[in-house]
């Protein structure tokens, strides 16, 4: 598994569209809908928590946003390039 940022697999990482994405690993329960909804963006690491893949920019904004919305514990946080929080709203 290759992470977008090997130094901090859960982010925050900056996407090509400027979005800043992070998984709150203290909140993530490894339920994994994010990995099914945005398979280029999220995968479970060896600890069973979601992290952000190196291929994240292959998923479009809507896909990533839907994955964040689908997380049962709202562990995926997204900000736009200006730092304004997009999700959770």
**86 lies in the site for ligand SF4, by CB under 6 A:** no
Q: Pull the structure tokens for residue 62.
A: 């809507």
**58 lies in the site for ligand SF4, by CB under 6 A:** no
Strands 50-52 and 42-44 turn out to be: antiparallel
**78 lies in the site for ligand SF4, by CB under 6 A:** no
DSSP character at residue 79: E
Q: Counting beta carbons within 10 angstroms of the beta carbon of residue 39, is it exposed (0 to 12), middle (13 to 18) or buried (19 or more)?
A: middle
Name the one range near ligand SF4 by CB under 6 A: 12-20, 31-39, 54-62, 81-89. 31-39
**21 lies in the site for ligand SF4, by CB under 6 A:** no
Residues that bind ligand SF4 (CB under 6 A): 23, 28-34, 42, 50, 71, 73, 75-76
């Amino acid at each position: 598994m290759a992470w977008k940022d090997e130094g901090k697999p859960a982010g925050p990482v900056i996407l090509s569209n400027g979005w800043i994405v992070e998984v709150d690993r203290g909140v993530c329960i490894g339920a994994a809908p994010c990995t099914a909804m945005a398979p280029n963006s999220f995968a479970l690491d060896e600890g069973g928590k979601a992290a952000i893949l190196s291929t994240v920019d292959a998923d479009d904004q809507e896909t990533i946003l839907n994955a964040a919305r689908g997380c049962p514990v709202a562990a995926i946080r997204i900000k736009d390039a200006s730092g304004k929080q997009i999700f959770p709203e």
